[in-house]
């Protein structure tokens, strides 16, 4: 159970408490009952079943009814101990078998009319494992160990680690008392106070650690300086920018300029909703780098997206003295060689590409800014490979500034915990004139009407996406469905004026590219695709998206997919097709999507439905492994913890003040526990 030290044992918290002074009636047991203590007379005991299914079954009767007690292990020993006709006190976890209540492997002892001395009014129940239980180390025994340990511990063994002003401000229970009360509370109210104290401590320390890493990085990491806004930036801004920037875009650009001008390395996460206009922000930031004599690169998650960025950027900067190159896994070797050469010589200003950019052979002359698009998962190793590509300074290589742009918003609480050591910008404003996408749910038998609706939109000159799931576990079947679906769509649209692109991950790259670009240019009106188009694809003329088997997609994924429409001025629509049978979670996902277009709200809902462990990219972050706190339920506490950690570090960045000594000592002692990396 990962218990190696006394501290580990102390932090194995009971998952509930039960009242062991109370004796219930057998009749009270219902499906909701979990643990119960009853007293009654043993009226039978029999060993039944053969060999592997052999078990001891006993009947206990009180004035209200009969309860079955079952043992699978130690059958003969127990049978010898139990006497029919004797009164027993029984405690355990209840279940139902063929409609009658039973307890498997109960705690049982002779009963003399009163609960024995020393029983707790709130007795802790601890988790254990089957294996441990078989060796006599069940939850009860663990509780005994904990009780013994607590008996040995003095106040100085569990010194206070939170500063007095925090304890006071939040009227928190002292640490020593909290550890006692969370295990063996005197009253439910004491338990609640102990729980909230220890939850706060958990969240606060995590925030403090991240704050320390961040401030350390700010102090120590040297970065290249973009000191001026130059010719290219200004020229682009005044002559090439096709629209007015939104307030949010301007704010983020200011933040980037401040960071990159500061002399320290920027490590910034840019959160923006689908369609909020991150690309143009990225381009302006890259122009800033080039103006200051550096190169910049933008890394996209897919080849389609890299190519699209390349084309869009080339178009936007047309006529400017700027070399833009493209590098992907499938770049031809001659092209590739040329691109690599000009990146290394410094001739190339902006390199657009896939993760191929991060590979070793790609060398830059002076890389000053790396942008990672549509991705919040960006691993340590990948970051490290970027660092090596920086510019030569006086004392070694200076790493480039890094801007990571998310694909969809991340819930605030998650960003605070999992990415709290990054600087962080939010773009929560869409460009003006966007109409919310009308999203509806339809059952699959309405497909004919849906197809008619598509035809109606096409007749107005619009384009449409039809998306099929392609899930790893059922890949072959899904693929067949996609092909079938494609044939069906062809049959629905026999008119010679309508052309259909099919894009999926199994096609040869060349075929995929061709189909993609035909849709981009409007030569085809319908695209039948899998989620390869999930992120980033920008075809403003597309106004309808139909998602087949929408119940198979996750919430953020659906939001991201839907973001492929509604990118122009026209009203757009998203139709979620499902079968009639939907489970609760799927229905909730679909309803959420129909109800809102706000990616930030959707992200919160996603976290609520799935829990933090399942949100992409956070599983290994290790920062979400709280023992007590939950970033979903304890959101308010988390925000307080963050504010308090910030205000302490503001005043005392190295925790040298007398009041913060407890914290400092504690963090030093804990250091080995968490592996922090300078490159986070």
Distance of closest approach, residue 536 Cβ to Mg ion, in angstroms:
4
- Indicate the residue among 102 and 246 with the shorter CB distance to ligand ADP: 246
Gap between the Cα atoms of 628 and 197, Å rounded: 10
Least distance (Å) between residue 452 CB and ligand ADP: 28
If one asks whether residue 272 binds ligand ADP (CB under 6 A), the answer comes out as yes
Residue 346 binds ligand ADP (CB under 6 A): no
Smallest separation (angstroms) from ligand ADP to the CB of 270 = 9
Q: Which of 400, 536, 599, 612 binds Mg ion (CB under 5 A)?
A: 536
How far is the C-alpha of 539 from the C-alpha of 599, rounded, in Å? 20
Residues 6+ apart with CB under 8 A from 526: 454, 458, 463, 464, 465, 466, 489, 493, 498, 499, 500, 501
Residue 556's region, left for phi above 0, alpha for psi from -120 to 50, else beta, is alpha
Minimum distance of ligand ADP from residue 280's CB (angstroms): 5
Least Å distance, CB 312 to ligand ADP, is: 8
Give CA separation, 578 vs 479, 565, 583, 596, in Å.
17, 20, 11, 19
Identified binder of ligand ADP from the candidate list 18, 69, 280, 663, rule CB under 6 A: 280
Q: Which of 143, 185, 275, 411 binds ligand ADP (CB under 6 A)?
A: 275
The one of ligand ADP, Mg ion, none whose footprint includes residue 389, by CB under 5 to 8 A per kind, is: none
187-190 LR contacts (CB < 8 Å, sep 24+)? 187/122, 188/122
Question: Rounded to whole angstroms, how far apart are CA atoms 585 and 592?
Answer: 10
The least CB distance from residue 372 to ligand ADP, in Å, is 13
CB 470 within 8 A of CB 482: yes
564 binds ligand ADP (CB under 6 A): no
Total residues contacting ligand ADP (rule CB under 6 A)?
17
What does 272 interact with, of Mg ion, ligand ADP, none (CB < 5 to 8 A by kind)?
Answer: ligand ADP
Residue 164 CB coordination number (10 Å): 11
Measured between alpha carbons, how far is 436 from 601 in angstroms, rounded to an integer? 14
For residue 151, the number of C-alpha atoms closer than 13 Å in the C-beta half-sphere is: 6
| 279 is a contact residue toward ligand ADP (CB under 6 A) | yes
Please provide residue 530's backbone torsions phi and psi, each rounded to the nearest 5 degrees. Answer: -95, -170
Surface-to-core class of residue 130, CB atoms within 10 Å of its CB (0-12 exposed, 13-18 middle, 19+ buried): exposed
**Could you say which of Mg ion, ligand ADP, none residue 277 binds, taking C-beta under 5 to 8 angstroms by partner kind?**
ligand ADP
Can residue 272 be called a binding residue for Mg ion (CB under 5 A)? no
The smaller minimum CB distance to ligand ADP, of residues 279 and 515, is found at 279
> Rounded to an integer, what distance in angstroms lies between the CA atom of residue 546 and that of residue 663?
54
Residue 15 binds which entry of ligand ADP, Mg ion, none, CB below 5-8 Å type-dependent: none
- Short-list 318, 342, 317, CA closest to 326: 342
Q: What gap in Å lies between CA 338 and CA 618, rounded to an integer?
A: 38
**Nearest-angstrom CA–CA distance, 660 and 645:** 11
Least spacing, CB of residue 540 vs Mg ion, in Å = 13
Q: How far is the CB of 433 from ligand ADP (least distance, A)?
A: 7
Burial category of 13 from C-beta neighbours within 10 Å (exposed 0-12, middle 13-18, buried 19 and up): middle
Q: Does residue 566 belong to the site contacting Mg ion (CB under 5 A)?
A: no
| 245 in contact with ligand ADP (CB under 6 A) | yes
Contact flag: residue 567 with ligand ADP (CB under 6 A): yes
Determine the Cα–Cα distance for residues 396 and 403; give it in Å rounded to an integer. 22
Binding mask 480-519 for ligand ADP (x = CB under 6 A): ----------------------------------------
The binder of 274, among Mg ion, ligand ADP, none, by C-beta within 5 to 8 A per type, is ligand ADP
Q: Which tokens sit at 580?
A: 């009639």
Structure tokens at 82: 């139990």
As measured in angstroms, the least distance from the Cβ of 405 to Mg ion is 7
By beta-carbon proximity to ligand ADP, the closer residue of 469 and 536 is: 536
Residue 97 interacts with which of ligand ADP, Mg ion, none, CB < 5 to 8 Å by class? none
Q: Which is nearer to ligand ADP, 249 or 557 (CB)?
A: 249
The DSSP annotation for 347-410 comes to ---EEEESGGGGSTT---SSEEEEEE-S-S---HHHHHHHHTTSEEETTEEEPPEEEEE-SS--
Contact flag: residue 376 with ligand ADP (CB under 6 A): no
Q: How far is the CB of 534 from Mg ion (least distance, A)?
A: 11
Q: Write out the binding residues for ligand ADP, residues 428-457 only, by CB under 6 A.
A: 431
Residue 538 contacts ligand ADP per CB under 6 A: yes
For residue 301, state whether it binds Mg ion (rule: CB under 5 A): no
Q: Answer yes or no whether residue 314 interacts with ligand ADP by CB under 6 A.
A: no
- At its nearest, how many Å lie between Mg ion and the CB of residue 373? 6
Can residue 106 be called a binding residue for Mg ion (CB under 5 A)?
A: no
In the complex, least distance from residue 371 CB atom to Mg ion, rounded to whole angstroms: 11
Closer to ligand ADP by CB, 47 or 569: give it. 569
Residue nearest to ligand ADP (CB): 277
The option from Mg ion, ligand ADP, none interacting with 542 (CB < 5 to 8 A, set by class) reads: none
Please tell me the distance from the alpha carbon of residue 195 to that of residue 181, in angstroms, as a whole number: 8
Residue nearer to ligand ADP on the CB measure, 175 or 278: 278
Q: Which of 274, 299, 304, 615 binds ligand ADP (CB under 6 A)?
A: 274
CB contact set of 171 (below 8 Å; sequence gap of 6+): none
Q: Is 278 in the site for ligand ADP (CB under 6 A)?
A: yes
Distance CA(35)–CA(16), nearest Å, equals 10
Q: Please choose, out of 107-115, 213-221, 322-330, 530-538, the segment that lies near Mg ion by the rule CB under 5 A.
A: 530-538
Closest CA to 226 of 268, 283, 287: 287
DSSP string covering 240-293: I--SPPPHHHHHHHHHHHHHHTSSB--EEEEEE-TTS-HHHHHHHHHHHHHHTT
Report in angstroms how near the CB of residue 538 gets to ligand ADP at its nearest.
Answer: 5
Q: Which structure tokens are listed for 129?
A: 């494992």
- Residue closer to ligand ADP, measured from CB, 183 or 559: 559
Minimum CB distance to ligand ADP smaller for 301 or for 400? 301
276 is an interface residue for ligand ADP by CB under 6 A: yes
Whole-number minimum distance, CB 279 to Mg ion, in Å?
5
- Which tokens sit at 279? 């690309």
By CB under 6 A, the residues from 587 to 616 that bind ligand ADP are none
- Structure-derived torsion over alpha carbons of residues 346, 347, 351, 355, reported in degrees to the nearest 10: -50
Identify which range of 64-72, 264-272, 524-532, 535-543 contacts Mg ion by CB under 5 A: 535-543
- The 3-state DSSP class for residue 662 equals helix
- Residue 193 binds which entry of ligand ADP, Mg ion, none, with Cβ cut-offs from 5 to 8 Å by kind? none
Is residue 277 close enough to count as binding ligand ADP by CB under 6 A? yes
> Is residue 174 close enough to count as binding ligand ADP by CB under 6 A?
no
φ, ψ dihedrals at 284, nearest 5° = -60, -40
Residue nearest Mg ion, CB atom distance: 536
The residue ranges that bind Mg ion (CB under 5 A) are 536
The residue ranges that bind ligand ADP (CB under 6 A) are 243, 245-246, 249, 272, 274-280, 431, 536, 538, 540, 567
């Amino acid at each position: 159970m990962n218990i190696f030290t006394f501290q580990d044992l102390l932090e194995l918290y009971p998952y509930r408490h039960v009242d062991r002074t109370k004796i219930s009636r057998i009749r009270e047991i219902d499906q909701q009952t979990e643990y119960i203590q009853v007293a009654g007379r043993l009226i039978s005991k029999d060993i039944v079943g053969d060999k592997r299914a052999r078990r001891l079954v006993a009947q206990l009767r009180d004035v209200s009814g009969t309860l079955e007690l079952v043992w699978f292990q130690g059958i003969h020993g127990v049978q010898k101990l139990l006497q029919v006709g004797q009164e027993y006190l029984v405690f355990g976890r209840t279940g139902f078998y063929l409609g009658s209540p039973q307890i498997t492997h109960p705690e049982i002892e002779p009963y003399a009319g009163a609960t024995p001395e020393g029983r707790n009014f709130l007795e802790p129940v601890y988790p254990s494992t089957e294996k441990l239980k078989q060796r006599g180390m069940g939850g009860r025994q663990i509780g005994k160990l904990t009780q013994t340990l607590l008996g040995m511990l003095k106040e100085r063994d569990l010194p206070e680690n939170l500063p007095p002003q925090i304890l006071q401000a939040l009227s928190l229970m002292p640490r020593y008392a909290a550890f006692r009360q969370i295990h063996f509370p005197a009253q439910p109210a004491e338990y609640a106070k102990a729980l909230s104290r220890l939850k706060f401590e958990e969240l606060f320390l995590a925030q403090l650690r991240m704050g320390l890493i961040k401030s350390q990085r700010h102090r120590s990491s040297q970065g290249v300086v973009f000191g001026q806004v130059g010719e290219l930036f200004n020229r682009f801004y005044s002559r090439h920018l096709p629209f007015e920037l939104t307030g949010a875009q301007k704010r983020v650009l200011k933040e980037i300029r401040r960071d990159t001008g500061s002399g320290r390395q920027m490590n910034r996460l840019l959160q923006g909703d689908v369609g909020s206009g991150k690309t143009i922000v990225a381009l302006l930031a890259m122009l800033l780098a080039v103006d200051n004599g550096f190169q910049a690169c933008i890394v996209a998650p897919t080849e389609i997206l890299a190519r699209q960025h390349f084309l869009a950027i080339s178009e936007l900067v047309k006529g400017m003295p700027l070399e833009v190159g493209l590098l992907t896994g499938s770049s031809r070797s001659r092209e590739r060689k040329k691109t690599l050469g000009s990146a290394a010589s410094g001739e190339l200003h902006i390199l657009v590409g896939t993760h191929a950019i991060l590979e070793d052979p790609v060398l830059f002359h002076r890389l000053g800014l790396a942008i990672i698009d549509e991705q919040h998962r960006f691993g340590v190793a990948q970051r490290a490979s970027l660092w090596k590509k920086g510019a030569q300074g006086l004392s070694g290589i200076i790493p480039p500034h890094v801007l990571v742009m998310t694909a969809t918003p991340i819930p605030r609480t998650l960003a605070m915990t999992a990415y709290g050591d990054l600087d962080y910008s939010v773009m929560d404003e869409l460009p003006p004139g966007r109409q919310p996408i009308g999203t509806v749910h339809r059952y699959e038998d309405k497909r004919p009407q849906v197809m008619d609706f598509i035809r109606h939109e096409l007749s107005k000159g619009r384009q449409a996406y039809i998306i099929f799931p392609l899930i790893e576990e059922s890949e072959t079947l899904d693929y067949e469905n996609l092909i079938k679906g494609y044939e069906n769509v062809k049959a629905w649209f026999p008119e010679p004026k309508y052309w259909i692109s099919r894009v999926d991950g199994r096609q040869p790259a060349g075929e995929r590219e061709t189909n993609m670009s035909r849709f981009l240019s409007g030569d085809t009106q319908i695209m039948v695709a899998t989620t390869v188009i999930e992120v980033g694809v920008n075809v403003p003329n597309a106004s309808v998206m139909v998602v087949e088997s929408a119940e198979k997609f996750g919430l953020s994924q659906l939001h991201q997919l839907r973001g492929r429409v509604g990118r122009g001025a026209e009203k757009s629509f998203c139709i979620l097709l499902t079968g009639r049978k939907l489970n609760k979670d799927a229905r909730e996902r679909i309803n959420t999507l129909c109800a809102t277009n706000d990616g930030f709200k959707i992200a919160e809902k996603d976290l609520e439905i799935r829990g933090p462990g399942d949100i992409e990219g956070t599983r290994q972050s290790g920062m979400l492994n709280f023992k007590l706190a939950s970033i979903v339920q304890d959101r308010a506490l988390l925000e307080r913890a963050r504010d308090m950690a910030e205000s302490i570090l503001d005043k005392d960045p190295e925790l040298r003040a007398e009041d913060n000594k407890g914290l400092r000592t504690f963090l030093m002692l804990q250091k080995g526990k968490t592996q922090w990396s300078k490159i986070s």
